[in-house]
Amino acid sequence: MVLFKKYFLVLVLATNCLFISHPSLALKSDKEQATKLSSDAADFNDVSQEYILTGNVKITKGSMLVQGDKAVIVVDPEGYQKISVIGNSKELAQFTQQLDGPKIEFIYGEGELIIYEAKTDMLLISGQAYTLRKNLSTWKDKLVAEKIEYDLYTEKYVALSLSKVPSENPLSKKESLGVTPPIPPKPVKSVMGSKTQVSLELKNTP
């Protein structure tokens, strides 16, 4: 059994840019929810506060859902988390979150890399990135760019042109995800899923 300390979560985020905003907001109640993580396997280091999830990764926080093939979670000294999620050769990483309002609407996005930062409440979608708003049957306001920054609680976008994005795959270097090799090998623990996934829960700080 693995015990986790309580942390306040929340994940990411940067000029030929396009600024877009909409009147509706993401669910404010999501900020108060615990973050739940699940994957086929998990490696973590209690000393460096780094967590690596692989295979069928799902990260939920209230109505927010981020899915991908691999995720790296780094906890800073203040307890804030930075979560980086990548897809694979067959499928991009995905993000969705319900919006506040009288109608049931969601913000949806995909990209090679999705980063979510608790401290700034910002989301970064990079590589073949796009976002759109959708209800149960239709979508609208689709935005396509190489890199999109999105404020989760004001619904303001910043779309960056291809010329402003490095051509190198940001996932090719481990340090680009803010991850360093585990310090001592002993504190590193591994959990492998079999028929059931590994499940973790990171709660808000008091």
pLDDT in tens, 124-155: 999 999 888 888 778 777 888 889 998 877 77
| 69-75 own/partner pairs: CB under 8 Å, 24+ apart | 69/93, 71/37, 71/39, 72/177, 72/178, 72/179, 73/37, 74/49, 74/50, 74/177, 74/178, 74/179, 75/7, 75/49, 75/50
Q: Is pLDDT at 5 greater than 70 in this prediction?
A: no
Which range marks the domain in which residue 52 is found?
17-162
Q: Confirm whether 154 is domain-assigned.
A: yes
Nearest Cα to 46, choosing from 181, 182, 177?
Answer: 182
Q: Confirm whether 168 is domain-assigned.
A: no
Q: Is pLDDT at 63 greater than 60 in this prediction?
A: yes
- Overall domain count for the chain: 1
pLDDT value of position 199: 65
| Mean pLDDT, the chain, integer | 70
Above pLDDT 90, what percent of the chain?
22
Q: Confirm whether 6 is domain-assigned.
A: no
Q: Which residue has the higher pLDDT, 115 or 133?
A: 115
Alpha carbon distance 171, 194 (integer Å): 27
Q: Is pLDDT at 115 greater than 90 in this prediction?
A: yes
The CATH number covering residue 140 comes to 2.60.450.10
pLDDT value of position 203: 59
Nearest Cα to 205, choosing from 14, 2, 31?
Answer: 31
pLDDT value of position 179: 37
Question: Can you list the positions of beta strands (E) in the chain?
Answer: 17-21, 35-39, 41-45, 50-61, 64-75, 81-86, 93-98, 106-111, 113-117, 122-134, 139-151, 156-160, 188-192, 198-202
Q: What is the arithmetic mean of pLDDT over 181-197?
A: 42
User: How far, in whole angstroms, is CA 105 from its chain's centroid?
Assistant: 20
Q: Is pLDDT at 73 greater than 50 in this prediction?
A: yes
Question: For strand 50-61 and strand 93-98, is the pairing parallel, antiparallel, or unpaired?
Answer: unpaired
Q: What is the arithmetic mean of pLDDT over 188-197?
A: 47
Q: Confirm whether 182 is domain-assigned.
A: no
> Cα–Cα distances in Å, from 47 out to 71, 72, 88, 102, 190?
19, 15, 29, 45, 14
Q: Confirm whether 174 is domain-assigned.
A: no
Q: What is the arithmetic mean of pLDDT over 41-61?
A: 88
pLDDT value of position 161: 64
Q: Is pLDDT at 174 greater than 70 in this prediction?
A: no
Q: Confirm whether 46 is domain-assigned.
A: yes
Are 18 and 145 spatial neighbours (Cβ–Cβ below 8 Å)?
Answer: yes
The answer to which of 36-40, 66-70, 75-79, 174-178 has the lowest mean pLDDT is 174-178
pLDDT value of position 28: 60
